[in-house]
């Protein structure tokens, strides 16, 4: 059987880069599309973030056709990816350079383009025989989405619509979608399974953008039985590759607990803010379900396995989490053990929209995908500390 090629959108970001490692090590050929607005790239001087993509990126490719308005062109007159031939190895985003070092394998292609650029994206499909797509590319900061809803809907929804249209035109109808537990809104019961209602109670435009995209994909797969879509609803990705070479490198102030704790431990920040200690939980702090990013990466490979099964069609949703709740203080104490450093924290008031507890039921993923999170809280903290201590300023 010929080697299958997977296109990964947003593959230079946090979850994307770790999944590319898993894909390459499993034997897939991988093409990455990312405009690096939130992923560190030497040529664009972009600051890195966890989930990547996608404002108004310009074209460029790792393997032959090159262009970009930020000094990345290797050919005169290049425009939107139609550039001169690359004489030497094209510069990759730092995370992807390290992915190649970790795996000892080379990407089949890297394209510095936006998903909003239909013409450039179409060329990617014409230059590679793509068998399936894993779609990570999205803006993902919840607070920022409240302040910039239009930008989030343009990026996350319009970018996804363009991708789906280009995929359909190319006859590629196998997709794994990076969704989120935010589609459940405020949980009506715990642990939250895939039958929980989605849509009502979502508290921010980011979550609604994920919900809207899920609905589009479900409608598409219902109307056209050739489509097979797996919707992966993440809970809280944390950790890093065990090598310490790649990890989470948020732009500006981290929005999530683990990278904030790591930056306090390494001396970049003074103290962790604990938002509320009066919840009905064992220690009064909020409880969340954390999953190691490498477990999450293996979940995407397992989802591809479902796509390849004969007869699979339609849209199927799966939670990816550990199924265990960890409080804010438990996480701080675990990171103290892992780092050997004191983690100062300050208790402040609750944040609007926060819930006391959110924990996943992952039984369906174990039954249908053969997937289960295996890494412990201590491993999550140890791997994060290895990454942060070896890269105190992230990829910069």
Say if residues 218 and 304 touch (Cβ distance below 8 Å).
no
206 noted as active-site residue: yes
Residue 218 burial (10 A CB sphere; 0-12, 13-18, 19+): middle
Q: Which residue is catalytic, options 206, 211, 234, 345?
A: 206
- Calculate ∠ Cα 250-149-205, nearest 5°: 80
Can you tell me which residue has the tokens 């000892």? 104
Alpha helices in the chain (DSSP H): 14-26, 94-103, 118-127, 142-147, 149-152, 159-170, 205-223, 257-265, 293-308, 328-339, 363-369, 377-390
Cα angle 52-57-60, degrees, rounded to a multiple of 5: 105
Contact 248, 236 (CB under 8 A): no
Contact between residue 340 and residue 388 where contact means Cβ atoms under 8 Å apart? no
96 burial via Cβ count (<10 Å: 0-12, 13-18, 19+): buried
Could you identify the residue written with the tokens 């094209």?
90
Q: Which residues are catalytic?
A: 206
């Amino acid at each position: 059987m010929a080697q299958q090629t997977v296109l990964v959108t947003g593959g230079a970001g946090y979850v994307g880069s770790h999944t590319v490692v898993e894909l390459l090590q499993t034997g897939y050929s991988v093409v990455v599309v990312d405009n690096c607005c939130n992923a560190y790239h030497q040529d664009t001087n972009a600051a890195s973030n966890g989930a990547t993509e996608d404002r108004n990126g310009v074209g460029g490719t790792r393997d032959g056709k090159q262009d970009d308005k930020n000094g990345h062109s290797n050919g005169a007159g290049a425009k939107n990816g139609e550039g001169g031939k690359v004489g030497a190895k094209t510069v990759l985003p730092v995370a992807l350079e390290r992915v190649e070092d970790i795996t000892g394998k080379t990407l089949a292609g890297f394209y510095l383009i936006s998903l909003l650029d239909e013409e450039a994206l179409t060329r990617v499909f014409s230059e590679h025989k793509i068998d399936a797509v894993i779609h990570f590319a999205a803006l993902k900061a919840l607070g920022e989405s409240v302040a910039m809803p239009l930008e989030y809907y343009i990026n996350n929804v319009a970018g996804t619509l363009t991708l789906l249209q280009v995929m359909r035109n190319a006859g590629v109808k196998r997709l794994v979608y990076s969704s989120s537990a935010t589609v459940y809104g405020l949980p009506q019961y715990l642990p939250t399974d895939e039958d929980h209602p989605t849509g009502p109670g979502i508290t921010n435009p980011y979550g609604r953008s994920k919900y809207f995209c899920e609905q589009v994909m479900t409608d598409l797969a219902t109307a056209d039985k050739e489509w097979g879509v797996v919707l992966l609803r993440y809970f809280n990705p944390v950790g890093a590759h065990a090598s310490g070479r790649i990890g989470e490198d948020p732009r500006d102030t981290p929005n999530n607990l683990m990278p904030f704790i790591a930056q306090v431990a390494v001396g970049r920040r003074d103290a962790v803010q604990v938002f509320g200690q009066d919840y009905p939980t064992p220690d009064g702090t909020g409880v969340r379900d954390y999953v190691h990013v490498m477990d999450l990466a293996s979940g995407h490979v397992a989802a591809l396995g479902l796509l390849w099964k004969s007869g699979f069609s339609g849209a199927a949703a799966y939670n990816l989490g550990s199924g265990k709740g960890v409080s804010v203080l438990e996480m701080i104490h675990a990171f103290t053990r892992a780092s050997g450093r004191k983690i100062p924290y300050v208790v402040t008031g609750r944040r609007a929209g926060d819930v006391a507890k959110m924990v996943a039921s992952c039984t369906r993923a174990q039954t249908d995908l053969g997937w289960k999170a295996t890494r412990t809280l201590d491993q999550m903290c140890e791997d994060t500390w290895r990454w942060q201590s070896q890269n105190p300023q992230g990829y910069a």
